[in-house]
Structures are given as structure tokens and as C-alpha cells.
A and B are shown apart, each in its own frame.
Chain A
Amino acid sequence: MTVLRRLLRSQQTGLVLIIVGLLVVLSLAAGSHVDPSTGRTVNNFLNSYTLIQTGTDASFIAIMAVGATVVIISGGIDLSVGSVYALASVVMGLALRDGAGGAGTVLLGLVLCVAIGVIAGAVNGAMVVGLDVHPFIITLGMMWILRGFAFVISKAESIPLPEVLTRFAKSSLGLGAALYPLPMLAMLVVSILGALYLGRTVMGRHVFAVGGNPQASRYSGLSLARIRIGVFVLAGATAGLAAFLGGSFYGAVSCGDATGYELYVIASAVVGGARLSGGRGSAINAMLGAVLIILIRQSIRTLHLDQNYEWIIIGCAIVVAVVLDQASARFAARRLAGAR
């Protein structure tokens, strides 16, 4: 009973149940086809290819959403993650495009992308703290600046990446041909690390404290500047990692990469229960939020709904989910106050 109660109390339960429910509905309603290579009848949704593809599609957004959630918990927001992704991937492309390489090339690509992300995040954080301007404004400006840099240095060309990077990102890990689980595994690892950071480290608890009550945190002796810069650095690093995986997976990069992803990222965090005013959020929930959004997108096609309605459906789902979540929180707060 205790385990069941703990599970029900868990922040993730609602999202997990919804995702599982959606998976069941899609599996039942998707129909089937005959696989031309094997001749076997295959469910259009419940097959390893579609499930891993859905996980892969979600992974790049989910990885960024973990970093963005940390920023949101601290009371900030980062609109520049899509542009950080583009700049990091373009820098990697320009640095590596003439190289053949092996494991060293993969490592160099990863280091370059994460380094660009860290630098961009540090600049974001330093400007937010140093200029005392709201993060919305700073990161809005940086969104354009960073994409502009990516545009200028790439001359707007699509840059092919060395084959070794694609081979790495598309490692089948023994699952079989055309099954590529690496981005999905990276998503799980980053989400778990994010959860450990937020829930099990002093630094993580400081982030909650700063977002929940900055004044009290200041009086408690916390360095708000250091913490705020740190969360933007984390967001930048996750954007850099997503850029490395996304660019490598698709085999080419351009300055237009991840355009508009910042909105998916923020939406994932918010659907995952992060409060935009700070003090609440979860790395695992952000990942689940990203998975849910991608699953809704996938369901539009799997169920053969008119995809012209995609933006309307996703927008409505986000608004309704968040509004009801907030209503639920207010209701709980009132009940708590009444009990006192």
C-alpha cells in the first residue's frame, strides 16, 4: 500500500498515466500494414520503429527542456535555446566538415557543441545578472543575436557532417537495422541527471529556493548571481548537447536548425508542471511533457486526423493542461489553508 500511495503521490503519475493511455489508444486505433521486407502484418503504431522514432523525435526537445526547466524553477526563462542549438551545431559543422576522423571527431563535436552552449548560457546569465534586465528580454535578444551569428558564419549553407558522427548517433546498439535508440537513451540519462541535480544536491535545492522566494534566499546568504548564471549555463549546455545529437543524427546542420524549438521546450516544461513564476518544476516531468507533446503530434498522423489542425491541437492541449493544473494547485492550496 505504501508503495502504491507513494506512486500516486508522485508528480509523474498523471503524465505517465496519460502517456500510457495515449499509447494504448494509438495502438488500438492505428491499424496495420504488411511490412514489404518481412511480409508480416505490423501494427502502424505499436512497432519498435515507430516507438523509437517517437522517442528520438522527443529526445532533442526533452534534453533542452531539462535545462530550461532548471531556469524556470529559478524564476527565469530562456528563449534562446533554439538559437544556441543552431549556433552550436553550425560551429561543429564548420569545424569538422573537412575531417574524416574516428572517436576523436565524435568527442570533439560533443565538446564543441557543449562548450558553445555553456558560453552562450554564461553570457545570458551574466547579462541577466549584470544588467539587471528580465531574462525574457535578454534571452529574446540573444535568440536573434545567436541565430544571426549562426547565419553569418555558415553563410546560410547546409553543412554536411562527417559520416562518423552520423554512425555514432545512429548506433543501433544491437537492436537491429534502422533502429536508433541513442538519442532516446541520452534523453533518459539527461533527465535522470537533471532530477538528481534538482532533488539530491544542495545546488539543486538552492535553485528551488531562489525561484520560490528570492528575498528569503538572499537573506539566507545564497549567492543569487552565481545561481542565476549557473542555471543559464546548464540550459546552454543541454542545448549544446541536443545540437550535437540532433546534428549528428540527421547528418547536416544549418543556421535554420531548431527554429521555434524554444516554444516546444518551454511548453514541455510547463506541461510537465513547471511554474513560470519559479519555485516548482521537475526534470523528469519536463521529459514526459516533451514526450506527450510529440506523442500528440504523432497521434494526429497515426489516427489520420487532418494535420492542418496540428498547431491548434497542440496549443489547446498545452493551455488546457496548464490551466487545469493551476486550478488544481489553487484548489489544493485552499484546502490546505482551510485545514489549518
Chain B
Amino acid sequence: MNGRRQALGRLAGTTFALAALLAAGCPKAPTSGAAPAPTQSGPSPAPPAAKAIKIAMIAKSSTNPVFLSARRGAETAAKDLSAKISAPIEIVWLTPPEEDGQIQAQRIAQAVNEGANAILISCSDAGKVTGAIDDAVARGVPVMTFDSDAPKSKRFAFYGVDDRRIGEQVMEELGKQLDGKGKIAILAGNQNAPNLRRRVDGIKAEAAKSKGIQIVGTFYHNETPQDAAAEVIRVNNAYPGIKGWAMAGGWALYTKTLLSDLDPAKIKLVAVDALPPSLPYVEKGLAPVLLAQSSYLWGNVGVTKIIDKIFFKKDVPEIIPMDPVRVTSDNLGSWARQLRQWGFPDVPEEYLKLK
């Protein structure tokens, strides 16, 4: 009897949990783009399924603002193109909450199983998703990568910056700020990310060309603003002579702490990415140059190229290079307005008024 009661208790408990949480507790995922209705015929009203186009978007992590910007770009492109091709385009956001190549591979399979017409992915671990991408392509679902590629897979195109080249550019800019001499450190993010490793390689290769530049070390950290800023402060304390930081990503500049802790007369920072929280560093002269990736375009161009491929049957180049935008005090205003236009809500008002 005891076993039966426990079994029934568990049944009641889990039923309660599922009923309360799944049925009532959480909202539906916002459908995106211009899709008037998704292709499903179950919970939503049935659309003309043959015409609808469903694109699964799988970025690295849904907590990273650059990917939220990419999502906005994808949704805007979907809306614009839906009107143009007279067919609803739906963006299905399948990005995991944290970076995990294994989960991404699972979500690729899920997207195919649920009838996605194409997949747009930024790969956390190329090795882990290559098999899943190849399976998707074998089942008739084209895959395009953005930001971080899986070059050995059967994806039809990649859109993003050349990571090694952007690393070299970071060091070129920092070298100019330091007149080609001084001790520098490299802030490298997650040691596991292949695109960041290529940026670090580029930074080191460029630094090696200048005899006056000495790299004190390459420093890895969790890719959160707090962890990154704490690493910068720790390293500065340990190496008091550091004159510059070459940053493979902008994480540390998404906090305000370095604005007060670092003296722009003594130290210069150059980083990849220029999101709204990092703009004060440009204004103050602490980061005279930021090399921005137009993350909005990852999604926008990605969706456009996918529609070119699957709807217009156009040839799409395998590699579509993205040029970084050089953000300085000269174009701070226009860049701020660009960010606002791309949907970033937290762009400081004062920068919007700049020239």
C-alpha cells in the first residue's frame, strides 16, 4: 500500500507541477518577424503551411546582448522580406541560455524535427555541431553560420568578421595609441571559444611586429562583465607597468568600474565590440578606439541570405565577410544613433545628440 500511495502521490505532485507551470505559468514565446501565424496546425490557428517559411535561429547564448541584437536584426529582416515575397517568415529562437555546443546540436535536430525550412547558427563549439549541421543538410534543411563558423560542416555560407584579422586590427590600434612601445595585457574571454582564440592569435602576431611592445600575459575569464572587469583590476595590480589592454571582446567595458579605476592618461584600452555600456569609455578617452561588430546585421544579413538561397534560388557566396566599424569620439554620435535604430534601448541620451 505504501508503494502505491507514494506512486500516486508522485503522480499528483508532478501533474500539479506540470499543469500549473506549463499550462498557466509561462507565456508563449513571442513569434517574430512578420509571420501572421506560425506553420503549426496545433495550438495556433492553421496558416497556409506550404507558403510559410520557418527559420530557426540558434545563437551562442540568450543572455549575451550582442545575440539579442542579432535576433532583432533577424526579426526585422523577416518582417521586411515577408512583405516582399508575400509569404510569412517566422524566426524561431532556439538559443540556449548558456553557451553549450551539445545543447546547440540538440536544438539543430529539434529544429529539423519540427519542420524548420532553414537554420541560422553561431557555433559555440564547431566540433560538436558539425555532425548535427550535416544531418540537417542531409534531411533537406540548409544551414548558414554567423559570428562563429563550423568550416568543416556542410553549411552553405558563413557571415562574420575574420577573427584573426580583427585581432590584428585591435593591436594595430593599440600600438598607435602607445606609440609602439610599452607593456600590454590581453583580455581573452573564454579560453574554450575558437573565435576568441583566433583573435588572440591575431593580437599576438601583430604585437610581435613591434619591438617596443611587450605582452605581460593573456588572461582568460568567464565572459561576464563583472568577471572581466575584476580580471583587469587584478592584473593591473599584479603588473603595475601595464600601459595598454588589447581586449578580444568588450565584456569589461560593460561595467562602469574601470571608468573610475583606470586613468586614461596612463593606460589605453582597445576592444572588439562597442555596445551602449562601453560608449562612455570612448568619450572619456580610456578606450579611444573600439572595433564594433554589427551584431544586428548577423541576424539581418543572415535571414536575407537564407531567403536569397531558399526562396529566390540565388547563389550565395560561401564566406560573406563583415567589416568591423571603427568607433571613436569622432563618430560616437552616429554610432549611438545606429545602435538605437537597431533596437538597443539603453543608449545614453547624451550620445544621441552628438554629431
Contact = CB atoms under 8 A, between A and B. Distances in A.
A181 to B, nearest CB: 14
Contacts of B273: none
Interface in B90-117: 93-94, 97-102, 105-107, 109-110, 112-115, 117
Interface in B286-336: none
A219 interface: no
A312 B24 CA distance: 13
A185 interface: no
A11 B54 CA distance: 42
Contact of B49 (A34, A252, A260, A324): A34
A252 B125 contact: yes
Interface in B177-236: 191-192, 194, 220
Interface string A32-61: 111111000010100101100100110000
| Interface bracket on B | 35 or more
Contacts of A22: 18
A134 B325 CA distance: 55
A332 interface: yes
Contacts of A33: 39-40, 49, 54, 114-115
Contacts of B125: 158, 252, 254
A251 B127 contact: yes
A189 interface: no
Nearest to A256: B192
Contact of A296 (B18, B30, B54): B18
Contacts of A253: 127
Interface stretch (B137-145, B244-252, B277-285): B137-145
A328 interface: yes
Interface residues of A, number: 88
B84 interface: no
Given A14-B14, A178-B138, A325-B10, A158 B4 contact: no
B110 A50 contact: yes
Interface string A276-304: 00000000000000001000101111111
Contact of A251 (B109, B131, B141): B131
Nearest to A329: B6
A327 B21 contact: no
B156 to A, nearest CB: 15
B168 to A, nearest CB: 22
Given A307-B93, A316-B21, A178 B110 contact: no
B345 to A, nearest CB: 17
Given A14-B14, A31-B42, A32-B41, A178 B139 contact: yes
B8 to A, nearest CB: 6
A159 B41 contact: no
Most buried by B among A17, A47, A151, A178: A178
Interface in A1-50: 8-15, 17-18, 21-22, 28-37, 42, 44, 47, 49-50
Interface in A102-157: 151, 155-157
A57 B106 contact: yes
B117 A36 contact: yes
B26 interface: yes
A203 interface: no
Given A303-B43, A309-B25, A328-B5, A34 B115 contact: yes
Contact of A250 (B5, B11, B26, B102): B102
A320 B128 CA distance: 34
Given A17-B11, A292-B14, A312 B26 contact: yes
Interface string B119-150: 00000011110111001001111000000000
B354 interface: no
B194 A158 contact: yes
A160 B101 CA distance: 13
Interface string B12-24: 1111111011100
Nearest to B38: A304
Interface of B: 1-18, 20-22, 25-31, 38-44, 49-50, 54, 62, 93-94, 97-102, 105-107, 109-110, 112-115, 117, 125-128, 130-132, 135, 138-141, 191-192, 194, 220
In order of increasing CB-CB distance, the 9 nearest A-B pairs are A328-B9, A33-B115, A252-B127, A324-B13, A31-B40, A31-B42, A14-B11, A156-B191, A14-B10
22 contacts: A9-B4, A15-B10, A22-B18, A31-B38, A34-B115, A44-B115, A49-B109, A151-B191, A158-B126, A178-B139, A257-B102, A301-B94, A307-B29, A308-B62, A316-B17, A321-B10, A325-B6, A325-B10, A325-B13, A327-B9, A328-B9, A328-B10
